[in-house]
Chain A
Amino acid sequence: MRQIDSDFLALPLRRLADAALQRARDLGAEHADFRLERVRAETLSLYDARLEGAADADDLGYAVRVVKDGTWGFAAGVDLTPEAVARVAEQAVRVARVSAPINREPVELAPEPVHEATWVSSYEIDPFDVAQADKVALLADWSAGLLKGADHVSARLLQVKEQKFYADTAGTTTTQQRVRVHPSLNAMKASQSGFDDMSTIAPPVGRGYEYLTGTQWDWQAELAALPLHLEEKLAAPSIEAGDYDLVIDPSNLWLTIHESIGHATELDRALGYEAAYAGTSFATFDQLGELVYGSPLMNVTGDRTVEHGLATVGYDDEGVRGQTFDIVRDGVLVGYQLDRRMAMMKGFGRSNGCAFADSPGHTPIQRMANVSLQPAQDGPATDELIAGVERGLYIVGDKSWSIDMQRYNFQFTGQRAYRISHGKLAGQVRDFAYQATTTDFWQSMEAVGGPGTYVLGGAFNCGKGQPGQVAPVSHGCPSALFRNVRILNTVQEGGK
């Protein structure tokens, strides 16, 4: 198991925390927490096998959050001295005082056992230990291969190392480190009918650089096939709009889960805290335990524990231990994603650990756990799902996505779609998008693939909150079969 980097541990973590928490106590705060974090992020961008941009950033700072007379106060700073930290604690209390006239709901936090813990995510090679030139050379080599069958190739490698130290007035202290990487390549080609592109479907993962060089993903196979997929797509016929049965690959379905289940079951959305921005949810709190979300085959869990998950942590940003919990069981809504305030407000007793702040300068808000659709234990393989379709589409890879502010109406496209005719794939089609209402869609799910079809997909950059924050999150799912889903022709939608 990896250890937390010694240079992070060498920072005066405990001394700064003590200074902040003591000052907050002295000023009468009922609760205070101190979070110091360093986020190292490197992005490499190549275009046509040449380095286009390299950004290597390191964000180091801390935040003090207090509850004073029932009102939140939050302040963040960068000067790593006990005196400066104490001043930031004073600022947090002042923010609470200025905000008091507009606070009508006193803040109370659900209790959490006191933890004293260290946690490191599961990875082998720290990507920041690999020379930038070596990483560029690998991406350039992959790009050069793709350029043999494409006009232009983009390659990108995102790498993040997140280190957090947390302490609160209840006595919890946690120190954590996690790593994630996302390599992606895109090939573009023009033809007489226009241009199109095709991207890799390898998901982002909570792993180290071994993801690019090891056996966790078959990069050679995917890169070899990509130009052929693109060539076929450019020559493919335009889809005829109408209702089709869909077999959706995990590389596409993860995003539909993210948008239509993940966000819809965030309790802050259901309670209206995001109403002016990200939106609310059709899955309102009064429907907990009753809402028929989908077919009886639908079982969805939230977790912050799965190995290599992007939302996986030991402890969240309120000191709550990572957990696994049910969200949809046998098609019925049975749970929400929580933070400590909402858990207390709605009588859950304990938070399920979904508080997260994306940087030292932002306050923790409820963010998404790894929300995953469970496979059927003896479920079919993907080709067996396809065999059960007379007229349909098999959709692979995510691309365009959009969903309304209550998570009812969505529209997704994909990297590629294959026509299914009499149970067999019959070549790609172009210009497709699927459009549905969330509960109609999930209730139309007739079959769920087996564990052999299950893949952990996800994203680095889920946006939410004001000021805006981004969060990494994984979604596992099997292939699944949906009946009679509306398919659009996007060229016709454009009025052509």
Chain B
Amino acid sequence: MTTPQELVERALALSSADACVVLADDASSANLRFAGNTLTTNGVAHSTRLTVISMSGRGVGVVSRSAVRPDGLADVVAAADAAARAAQPAEDARELVSGVPASASWDEPVPPTGIEVFEGFAPALGEAFSAAESGGRRLYGFAEHTLTSTFLGTSTGLRLRHDQPTGRLQLNAKSADLKRSAWAGVSTHDFTDVDVAALDAGLARRLDWAKTRVDLPAGRYETLLPPAAMADLMVYLFWSAGARDAVDGRSVFAKPGGGTRVGERLASMPVTLSSDPAADGVACAPFVTAHASSRQSSVFDNGLPLAATDWIREGRLESLLQTRYSAELSGLPVTPAIDNLIMRGPGDGRSLEEMIASTRHGLLVTCLWYIREVDPQTLLLTGLTRDGVYLVEHGEVVGEVNNFRFNESPVDLLGRLSEVGRSHQTLPREWSDYFTRTVMPAVRVPDFNMSTVSQAS
């Protein structure tokens, strides 16, 4: 079978356009899904995708095909070249990136993942099912391992490669009557570091907390949001931080009357929200890969090196998601999106357990769910609490509270933080299908808006 590297080289050679970018993605995955202490579905998959981006003058044509064989390559390239010639000028058209040294691993073969990645994990999960069964619990969840190798070649000489392994386990324990629920999520490189028994024990402890039930009405409560909940809120903020939308006056980061809010203080505490492709434990692609242009990405930026970027620095808005084109529009530095997100407060911060111990009266949330935008002007979001809201009294968890629907803006919330805890690598509950690499702190919010009670348990 033709290698991705060969497809990239042949496609570049076949293109008759003024310039050309070729992306070859080779993805393999394995997964196990389970519910009620038994398997429900599983699978392994392998796919390949070739994306040819041709430029003719300022026109661009993009054609993406899966499983391209050598005898079909010329048609794909010809289609992209023709689309480029027929296209109207693209606003984001720029010279292609050049001068970036080739990746040292360019010529190495693709290392696929497979069902074998679970050979140690699956029996441990089976034992956890047995333990849960005897403890009156039911386990639900999903384990997935993917490995995507991306090869980027351009007519300006770039030859860049990135191998991205992504593993995640979501474990949800419920009481036998399904009235009590607890959740834990972890990111992993290869599942050898996942201790299912320990995760299950932690969930069992939380289900015990929930044996005492306290009904509370809607209202504003002092609330501890753990790292997973903060990850979901901050990822949404990150996705909403496009410079083009801010310049056009259509986002929470637009300054009334024109311009952006870069430089404005957003957070009451000196928190920093950043991304870094080389960050330990959450490393990601160190160069731009754009399969299509949008307001937050440009195919002309493919291969642009990515560097550590502060989005919010010590409480002030520092950067927005940029293409080279939007950077010119906004007059700000070129700071493209990066596939991880890290939030840290001042100093080392306390652990979540220490934050609980110092709480006189408040709520401890496990995670948030079904988060959707209500108002883009303020980035007001709505959503639900899920898998355990606990009442904390005088430093101890005293029982489980009903779930709530919240209405909150993550931007407004940053301005009301009263404590930022220690940061940990965590898995977003809602957005982990799209964004898994996050490092977040627990935070204390003095007046989180629980808008209404949800009967869900």
What is the interface of chain A, defined by CB distance below 8 A to chain B?
Answer: 43, 45, 47, 50-61, 63, 71-80, 91, 94-96, 98-99, 101-105, 131-133, 136, 151-152, 188, 190, 194-197, 272-277, 279-280, 282, 361-363, 365, 400-409, 411, 413, 431, 433, 435, 437, 466-468, 486, 488, 490-491, 493-496
Contact = CB atoms under 8 A, between A and B. Distances in A.
B127 to A, nearest CB: 9
Interface string B444-457: 00000101111111
Given A74-B42, A276-B170, A405 B87 contact: no
Contacts of B293: 52-53
- In order of increasing CB-CB distance, the 7 nearest A-B pairs are A74-B43, A78-B67, A276-B140, A276-B172, A104-B38, A406-B456, A76-B45
Contacts of B254: 195
A54 B292 contact: yes
A431 B377 CA distance: 11
24 contacts: A43-B292, A53-B62, A53-B292, A54-B61, A56-B83, A59-B49, A71-B39, A74-B41, A91-B44, A99-B39, A102-B32, A102-B122, A104-B38, A276-B170, A277-B142, A363-B41, A404-B403, A405-B369, A411-B407, A433-B374, A466-B144, A467-B144, A488-B407, A495-B449
B383 A402 contact: yes
Contacts of B373: 400
A52 B407 contact: no
B358 interface: no
B113 to A, nearest CB: 13
B31 interface: yes
A74 B433 CA distance: 20
A194 B377 contact: yes
Contact of A60 (B66, B90, B142): B66
A50 B91 contact: yes
B384 A98 contact: no
B322 to A, nearest CB: 16
Given A102-B126, A273-B35, 16 more contacts: A54-B292, A55-B64, A58-B64, A73-B42, A77-B46, A98-B122, A102-B32, A102-B39, A102-B122, A105-B38, A131-B86, A188-B250, A275-B35, A402-B372, A406-B456, A466-B144
A99 B121 CA distance: 11
B63 interface: yes
Interface of B: 1, 29-49, 60-67, 79, 83, 86-88, 90-91, 114-116, 118-119, 122-123, 125-126, 129, 138, 140-142, 144, 170-172, 174, 178, 183, 248-250, 254, 256, 291-295, 369-375, 377-378, 380, 382-384, 386, 403, 405, 407-409, 412, 433, 449, 451-457
B455 A408 contact: yes
Contacts of A402: 370-372, 382-384, 405
Nearest to A431: B375
Contacts of A60: 65-67
Contacts of A72: 39-42
B129 to A, nearest CB: 6
B456 A408 contact: yes
Contact of B1 (A79, A99, A431): A79
B63 A56 contact: yes
B190 to A, nearest CB: 16
Contacts of B48: 78
B405 to A, nearest CB: 5
B38 A409 contact: no
Contacts of B248: 151-152, 188
A54 B41 contact: no
B144 A104 contact: no
Contacts of A194: 256, 377
Contact of B409 (A45, A431, A494): A494
Nearest to A140: B88
Contacts of A488: 407, 451
A101 to B, nearest CB: 4
Contacts of A466: 31, 33, 142, 144, 170, 433
Contacts of B452: 409, 435, 486
A51 B250 CA distance: 19
A133 B66 CA distance: 24
B90 A51 contact: yes
Given A56-B63, A104-B129, A195-B249, A490 B407 contact: yes
B29 A102 contact: no
Contacts of A188: 248, 250
